[in-house]
A and B are shown apart, each in its own frame.
Chain A
Amino acid sequence: MSLALTALPPIAIRLPSTGEYPVKVGPAPGSQVQLSAARRKNLEFEPLSTTALILEDRPSNLPAKSVEEAMRHKQEYDEMVAGAKRRELKEAQKKKRRMKERFKQEDSIANAMVIWNNDVLPNWDCMRNTRRVRELWWQGLPPSVRGRVWSLAIGNELNITPELFEIFLSRAKERWKSFSETSSENETEDSGSLQADRESSLDLIKLDISRTFPSLFIFQKGGPYHDLLHSVLGAYTCYRPDVGYVQGMSFIAAVLILNLEEADAFIAFANLLNKPCQMAFFRVDHDLMLKYFAAFEVFFEENLPRLFNHFQINNLTPDLYLIDWIFTLYSKSLPLDVACRVWDVFCRDGEECLFRTGLGILRLYQEVLLQMDFIHMAQFLTRLPDDMAADNLFSCITATQMLSSNRKWGQVFSALMKDGSKEMANHSPAPRS
């Protein structure tokens, strides 16, 4: 009804201007009461308080309405009320549909949860690759089993135990303590660049934690997950000093912390970063990264030739948008719920999924992007619309074929690795055979 009410004022405002009929004296007060009573009878709904504004007599200091005008106002008013009722009905139907959809969704999540808990998880090794489980997996993991499935799928090649995590965590804590005690003296001294480097890495973790999902208000100082995130990242820099902390890691650790207990989050984090693609990126192995970009472009051209051409003309290279996407596994650029679904599939399909998702995003926004120039595309891709619906993205990912001349992602990538030097020189996709 609110819609109708907001539409009322123009009529009310128009009333005083009816001075066109100054000579006509309004009907006697009694008949007016009758008239408005009659009007009310015609209305098939409870009058709201504001309807009185229209139906009541005009203030005595103003000339009365003519009958003609009163009728017109009545008609206009009735039309508005009818319109409002129609809208209200439509809105109610829409709401009902939405609720039904949601119930259905909740139902399917509940069903999926039962299947995951009773059938899949107890028989993980023999079921994970069955068609039924893979399909169920694609639909998105129920939040209650998500962490466990991620952990199992990522695995623990590194054989990290919770005890080992505790050891690296206490080492990290010692280091924070010693730095905070001596940092001011060491700052200007040349006491070894390694020390300064480590220190700046610890400082950077501190700085970045509050800049990780700032809109959620849970990782900032004083927030419930601040210390957890600090611990996981600190322990990792002690565990892998050769890699250290690299910006982007805080987002990955944060998503894991949202779904797993502290030690499990650390184990998943360390194993995830140990995968070849993640290692290449977090070590900023530029040559290797270029190989990934080149492989991406092979499938880009194959799937979206028009957009590929548009990007080339505008010199929009994949590094400009893929770096942000890959370093944070889409958790920074996609809405968090959508990102978690991408992670689900990433855990199922591995690195190929990351590049396929990228192509899915490009497909989803292809028509918009084709209308833009370089800077607008670059801006768009580094800040994707936050109303992106998971289902739309996933149907675009489904439509993306990871096949190029019968070669799969892995084959294209290793071909580039083998004799990539020639192709890398002109930074173009591999020629199709």
Chain B
Amino acid sequence: MAKQYDVLFRLLLLGDSGVGKTCLLCRFTDNEFHPSHISTIGVDFKMKTLEIDGIKVRIQIWDTAGQERYQTITKQYYRRAQGIFLVYDITSERSFQHIMKWASDVDEYAPDNIQRILIGNKSDEEEKRQVATGQGNKLAKDYGMDFFETSASTNYNITESFTRLAEQVLAANKKDLDLLRASVTDELNLAALEEEEGITDGAAASQKGCWC
């Protein structure tokens, strides 16, 4: 049986309520856009398989609720991720200022080699813009992140930003990846490697199960 994927990892979407996290995700995985999406409570899940440099990469994406109150819960999920999207809304100055808070939480709770990327969403709403592209660029540079302005509505830069973060996660785990290239039959479960010990074996084994 052909492998469904070579590498598996988790990405997390963080940012204030209403910046469009769920919409970005729906555009990426299903190529759909609903202007008024149902609120996310707790965490939602999606997945997609990409091919990067000939490697089949399965991405699990965890879409979190944005309200501050929920952060006690969502912080628990940071350590289970390999990559994080920090999302703000270019029409909301406040959501941009909160990025600093989100980023410092990531520093505190996420694994050390976590990959981050900054997203300024709703780039199609130019007439309501409150955050200049330059501001986003500067912040991203200060934090050593890549930066994309995106629009889930017009499908601008969506695949690009998801692919970029996936590439960064792959690069950050290059050592494990080289091992993978040496073997043909195994698959690499980055997500499971980061999990608490004890369940790793079981998770890796079960990921091989075929669910089509």
Contact = CB atoms under 8 A, between A and B. Distances in A.
A, B bound:
yes
B47 A220 contact: no
Interface in B38-53: 38-47
B141 interface: no
Interface string B173-212: 0000000000000000000000110010011001101010
A208 B39 contact: yes
B159 interface: no
Given A187-B93, A200-B94, A320-B43, A332 B203 contact: no
Given A207-B18, A319-B73, A379-B47, A332 B211 contact: no
B45 A379 contact: yes
Nearest to B37: A211
Contact of A211 (B39, B44, B67): B39
Contacts, number: 101
Interface string A243-261: 0101110110000000000
Given A211-B38, A214-B37, A247-B41, A373 B206 contact: yes
A382 interface: yes
Interface in B65-93: 65, 67, 69-70, 72-73, 76, 93
Given A371-B211, A373-B206, A327 B41 contact: yes
B113 interface: no
A243 to B, nearest CB: 10
Nearest to A309: B202
Given A214-B34, A246-B67, A379-B47, A313 B202 contact: yes
B42 A372 contact: no
A284 interface: yes
B175 to A, nearest CB: 24
A313 to B, nearest CB: 4
Contacts of A379: 45-47
Contacts of A213: 38
B104 interface: no
Interface in A181-197: 187-188
B135 interface: no
Contacts of B38: 211-214, 332
Interface residues of B, number: 34
B119 to A, nearest CB: 19
Given A214-B37, A247-B70, A375 B45 contact: yes
Given A247-B70, A323-B42, A323-B73, A375 B47 contact: yes
Contact of A312 (B43, B67, B70, B199): B199
Nearest to B22: A211
B60 interface: yes
A204 B203 contact: no
A314 B203 contact: yes
- Number of chain A interface residues as a range: 35 or more
Interface in A224-253: 244, 246-248, 250-251
B17 A204 contact: yes
A315 interface: yes
A188 B36 CA distance: 28
Residue from B18, B45, B76, B207 having most chain A Cβ neighbours under 10 A: B45
A204 B44 contact: no
A286 interface: yes
A286 B42 CA distance: 13
Contacts of A220: 36
B33 to A, nearest CB: 13
Nearest to B207: A373
Contacts of A371: 209, 211
Interface string A351-395: 000000000000000000001111110110011000000000000
Contacts of B36: 210-211, 214, 220
Interface string A310-352: 0011110001100110011000100000000000000000000
A187 B41 contact: no
Contacts of A332: 38, 41
A313 B94 contact: no
Contacts of B76: 319
Nearest to A243: B69
Contacts of A210: 36
B17 A247 contact: yes
A312 B203 CA distance: 9
A312 B198 CA distance: 11
A372 B202 contact: no
Nearest to A196: B94
A124 B17 CA distance: 43
A208 B203 CA distance: 36
A315 B73 contact: no
B67 A247 contact: yes
Interface string A289-324: 100000000000000000000001111000110011
Contacts of A327: 41-42
Residue from B17, B36, B73, B202 having most chain A Cβ neighbours under 10 A: B36
A372 B44 CA distance: 17
Q: Lowest 8 A-B CB distances belong to which pairs?
A: A323-B42, A378-B45, A313-B202, A211-B39, A207-B18, A324-B41, A375-B47, A247-B67
Given A247-B65, A289-B73, 13 more contacts: A214-B34, A214-B36, A247-B39, A247-B40, A247-B70, A248-B41, A313-B203, A315-B203, A320-B43, A327-B42, A328-B41, A376-B47, A379-B45
19 contacts: A187-B93, A210-B36, A211-B37, A214-B36, A220-B36, A244-B69, A247-B39, A251-B41, A284-B72, A289-B73, A313-B203, A314-B203, A319-B73, A323-B73, A332-B38, A374-B60, A374-B203, A375-B60, A379-B46
